[in-house]
Structure 1
Amino acid sequence: MSYCLFCHQSYSETWSWAMLLGVYRQPILCQPCIEMLKLIKGDICRICGRSFSLFPEEYRQADLCSDCVRWEEDEEWCGVLLKNRSLYVYNDFLKELVSKLKYRGDAEIVKAFHVPAKALAKTFYRKQIVVPIPLSDERQYERGFNQAELLATGFSSKVQLLLKRTNHEEKQSKKNRQDRLKKKANPFELIEGSSVKELDILLVDDVYTTGSTLRYAAKVLVDAGANSVSSFTLAR
């Protein structure tokens, strides 16, 4: 008998050859909770990976969503982030799950995403260095862990901590869309002594909302000589 780390209900696991062969990995979530996670699939924005089925057609221009069109029309940000791919739609269930992970300290939940994250990430990156989006020192101290780093180390052995935050900001979850998109000083910088010249880099974060956090981080890396920067997030 196992217990779901989200709803805490007990559940029985179905026998499989994986159990017999010793390669079975116990699920972290029960089947009803897993079924509430909505995979992003089908027709998506070429850059940010947003599902075109989830918003009106007028917000689409060819193979890009209107958000990415605006980013690419800005000379400062054009081409900074090559592409983003995300596992799940950020629905109410995943929002609650991420909240439990980030704000209630339940770090074990991230293990539920290691296998699907590895499967998706392998479809679009090969030799990239994997760089989690860093937290500020204050936020890291509050939580005791960085959820992006936990996600990254769960599916890659090439994780490097190359970035640091230069300031401590209000939590992104407390900002509205307009506030997140406001021009600001870049909150990231390269850790002293790090070199990213001619590297292909995969940034990892928990949620892609407006894309500003990932693009600010990507800009630091591109300006420092990175060949390309893509990103992977749990949710979009």
Structure 2
Amino acid sequence: MSLFLQDYCLICHDSIQPAIGWKAIFSEEKELLICPTCEGKFEKIEGEKCKICSRLFRHLDERFRHVDLCHDCVRWEEDSEWQGYLDINHSVFLYNDFFKEVMAKYKFRGDYVLAKLFAEIIKESLRRINPDLLVPIPLSSERLYERGFNQAEALILESGLTPANLLTRIHLEKQSKKSRAERIHIPQVFQVNQQTELTGKEILLIDDIYTTGSTLRHAAKLLKERGAKSVCSLTLAR
């Protein structure tokens, strides 16, 4: 009889044969959701990093490092339109080829069960951050219909937590199809639920990937303009 509730890796679907004493970083030992091989392909963000966006400095040319900020964040903070809106982004993993493959299965091929894989990571991060509200980055109604679920909201729900759906999104072309410059200069894509009191609230935005930071800053700007005390973000990858 199996000692584990989950015998097959949620990513590669091979049976899990854990070594004695091995414990997944993704979940409690009583329910192994990922095999050691797949787990080893995730790269955690560890070491010196940008104090705003979590970009690792060891992967950045020194010319693009400004003390404790990366060049991208310096440019955001020097722009009066965007300065100070996103306090900090916490990212867990590097966006390597393996992570990109996993996200393709999760987001674009509708493999909702993969949200379970990251539940312990989300809960562990929240023990350090402790926000008032967890706000998932929303999808437009068209994109939600296309995918079947909001991947950011699913991360919150599968962690046993309650999302605060404060934002709605205007439908635009997929972000993945845009260049970096196009992502940065897109018009405001969100609207705020007018019935929600945000004055003095500490808000944590939840999303899957931090790319340019444009999406998160658009959301943070609206929330701070409505009175939020702080707006940070938690993303699976950077």
Q: If the length of structure 2 is used for normalisation, what is the TM-score?
A: 0.90
| Matched AA of 1:188 | F
Q: 2:205 aligns with which of 200, 203, 206?
A: 203
Q: 1:50 aligns with which of 48, 55, 64?
A: 55
In 2, Cα distance between the equivalents of 1:129 and 1:61? 32
Could you say if the C-alpha distance between residues 76 and 156 of structure 1 is closer, same or farther in structure 2, counting changes exceeding 3 Å?
farther
Q: 2:180 aligns with which of 148, 171, 177?
A: 177
4+ runs deviating over 3 angstroms: 13-18
- What is the count of residue pairs matched by the alignment? 229
In 2, Cα distance between the equivalents of 1:93 and 1:32? 11
In 2, Cα distance between the equivalents of 1:156 and 1:130? 12
1:131 alignment counterpart: 135
2:152 alignment counterpart: 148
2:217 alignment counterpart: 215
Percent identity, please: 46
Could you say if the C-alpha distance between residues 76 and 17 of structure 1 is closer, same or farther in structure 2, counting changes exceeding 3 Å?
closer
Ranges in structure 1 where 5+ consecutive residues have no aligned partner = none
In 2, Cα distance between the equivalents of 1:209 and 1:31? 28
Q: 1:63 aligns with which of 68, 86, 107?
A: 68
In 2, Cα distance between the equivalents of 1:132 and 1:174? 22
| Matched AA of 1:160 | A
Deviates more, 1:126-135 or 1:64-73: 126-135
2:46 alignment counterpart: 41
Ranges in structure 2 where 5+ consecutive residues have no aligned partner = none
Q: CA deviation at 1:181?
A: 1.6
Q: CA deviation at 1:196?
A: 1.1
Coordinate RMSD, CA, aligned = 1.8
Could you say if the C-alpha distance between residues 17 and 176 of structure 1 is closer, same or farther in structure 2, counting changes exceeding 3 Å?
closer
Is the 1:114–1:151 contact (alpha carbons within 8 Å) kept by the matching residues of 2?
A: yes
Q: 2:10 aligns with which of 5, 13, 16?
A: 5
Deviates more, 1:199-208 or 1:142-151: 142-151
Could you say if the C-alpha distance between residues 65 and 17 of structure 1 is closer, same or farther in structure 2, counting changes exceeding 3 Å?
closer
Q: If the length of structure 1 is used for normalisation, what is the TM-score?
A: 0.91
Does residue 80 of the first structure (1) align with residue 85 of the second (2)?
Answer: yes
1:30 alignment counterpart: 35
Q: 2:99 aligns with which of 94, 98, 102?
A: 94
